Amino acid sequence: MAARRSTDLAPELLGLATAEAVHRARGAGDRLDARAEAALREARAGLTRTPSLRGFLPHARMEG
């Protein structure tokens, strides 16, 4: 499964890294970061608050 996902995700991640490098080389990195932060704030503002389930769910541990 990991091999299949790597063929799916690796090109996308490489493209994102390349686009970010180009923006930084052109001096637009700060604007790109500001747009990303604004998009994150907007997305978080659109989420509804839900009560915390802490204490109600068993603690899951990753093993292996």
pLDDT of residue 12: 87
Q: What is the pLDDT along the chain (64 residues), one digit of tens a residue?
A: 667 766 778 888 898 899 889 988 998 888 888 888 999 999 888 887 666 666 565 556 666 5
- Nearest 5°: the CA angle 8, 10, 12 is 80
pLDDT at 55: 59
pLDDT at 38: 92
Q: Where are the domains of the chain?
A: 2-44
